[in-house]
Amino acid sequence: MSAALPDDQPPRSVGLFEAFLFWLKLGLISFGGPAGQIAIMHEELVEKRRWLSERRFLHALNYCMLLPGPEAQQLATYIGWLLHRTWGGVIAGVLFVLPSLFILIGLSWVYIAYGDVPLVAGIFYGIKPAVTAIVAQAAWRIGSRALKNNWLWGLAAAAFVAIFAFNLPFPLIVLGAALLGYLGGRWLPQQFSLGGGHGAAGKSYGPALLDDDTPPAAHTRFRASRLALLLAVGALLWLLPMALLTGLYGWDGQLTQMAWFFTKAALLTFGGAYAVLPYVYQGAIGHYGWLSPSQMIDGLALGESTPGPLIMVVAFVAFVGAYLQPVFGAEAAFASGVLAACLVTWFTFLPSFLFILAGGPLVESTHGELKFTAPLTGITAAVVGVILNLALFFAYHVLWPQGFAGSFDWPAALIALAAAIALFVFKRGVIEVLGACALAGLGWQLLQ
């Protein structure tokens, strides 16, 4: 995206418009999930442009990892806020999401309108097994980082049993894990002192605009009056559209329930988007019936293959739910889907902006204290068990599409096995694997 500065050349100040252009480009190319998106930001902002130092970048990242919500989008918001105050954070966070929203609305419409066409059906036939392997890899990736001792392994196993065998609600599992993490931090501090760090910053790429010894800007210092103002504004931004939806459609109206459901989902995304997907499928499929398990898997595949945070799959869920059960009547199904996708995006990401803009100066001062990080360590461990359950849920619907009483789908199983080998053994990228599996599914459909 840009050429690196010479090591001895100090970076010049960055204007808001220049930052706007960068965040827009980032929103258009931020493929690869949170790891890929964070890598892009590190390369551009730390190594090449040197808008902030390695240590400042990692400090911001560690903070974002302690919060619910999409960590890459929050990191962009945080850095935008550091550079250009509140408006800088808003611009960075919005542009990280907006391209993905527009692309997903378009793809969701194509999926609903043409999903039964053999060409499209073949592509999704190959993508579904790949998604199953991708979710299994996510459980492995998070587990290998989070489960560092037997206590955390036990917590992950307990979470798996709770959701798989007893079908306990995901929020209850999160609360239980947080409580056990808090108690573990008090009684077994060495076992629960593994919060979301990314290691120490030991490398310098030259002088940075926000360097290690740059004095903190005035807007980054905690002020109770600023916190109260931002919380009040955030409450209004949530209450006004919620009140309007309730007045127009009632509390039980579809759009109102979507807004309420995804507000709760936004507060439960500890551990990234994969962690909240079990809660989404419990509610969107099991409780509300907005879409089918097969459609949920397809939506996750679309979310994986577009730029932006993976949690944008909620826009697909809302679009499909409102398109198939249109608020404005069958003749305006597309308008219903678009409105639902936009509303759900608003209610999903509003808490992320508040966590950064209102909580940044406050929470940053408590970073690294065990009483704050131990509950989050417990939640992250539980999330591993929950994601494993999600992988089994997807595998069941992919490999036995008519249930266990029906036949085993061996071509889908072969595609899933190939995707798993590509991801686990050969370390191929998600987009690459999805593309290859889509071609395999299309080829199988054409042979029939």
Average pLDDT over residues 221-243: 93
- What's residue 196's pLDDT? 40
The pLDDT, as a whole number, for residue 200 is 41
Tracing tokens 């066409």 back to the chain, one arrives at 117
Rounded CA separation 72/78 (Å): 10
**pLDDT at residue 289 tops 80:** yes
Other Cβ atoms within 10 Å of 151 Cβ, number? 19
What pLDDT score does 47 carry?
Answer: 84
| Most confident by average pLDDT, 30-39, 107-116, 118-127, 436-445 | 436-445
Q: What mean pLDDT do residues 401-409 have?
A: 89
Q: Quick check: 336 and 105 in contact, CB under 8 A? A: no
The mean predicted confidence, pLDDT, of the chain is 85
341-399 confidence digits (pLDDT tens): 999 999 999 999 999 998 778 755 554 566 767 887 888 788 788 888 878 988 998 89
Q: What is the pLDDT of residue 8?
A: 62
For the chain, give the percent of residues with pLDDT over 70: 90
Pick from 355, 338, 326, 405: nearest CA to 104:
338
233: Cα separation from own chain's centroid: 24
Percent of the chain with pLDDT over 90: 38
The model's pLDDT over 166-178, given as tens digits with 9 standing for 90+, comes to 988 777 888 899 8
Q: What is the pLDDT of residue 201?
A: 43
More confident position, 375 or 34: 375
Alpha carbons 391 and 393: distance in angstroms, whole number: 5
Radius of gyration for the alpha carbons in the chain, expressed in angstroms and rounded: 22
Q: What is the pLDDT of residue 122?
A: 87
- Read off the pLDDT of each residue in 287-311 and give the average, rounded to a whole number: 85
pLDDT of residue 277: 77
Residue 141: both structure tokens together: 């990736």
**Average pLDDT of the residues in 65-86:** 87
pLDDT for the residue numbered 197: 40
Average pLDDT over residues 236-247: 97
pLDDT of residue 194: 52
DSSP letters, 106-145, are: HHHHHHHHHTTSHHHHHHHHHHHHHHHHHHHHHHHHHHHH
Q: Provide the whole-model pTM.
A: 0.74
Most confident of 8-12, 57-61, 116-120, 252-256: 252-256
Least confident residue range of 135-144, 185-194, 271-280, 436-445: 271-280
pLDDT score, position 32: 56
Q: Which of 171, 113, 232 minimizes the C-alpha distance to 386?
A: 171
Per-residue pLDDT, 4: 62
Predicted confidence (pLDDT) per residue in 90-112, tens digit: 999 999 999 999 999 998 999 89
DSSP H stretches of helix in 254-332:
254-266, 273-280, 293-304, 313-324
Structure confidence by residue, pLDDT tens digits, 303-313: 877 888 878 88
pLDDT of the residue at 367: 47
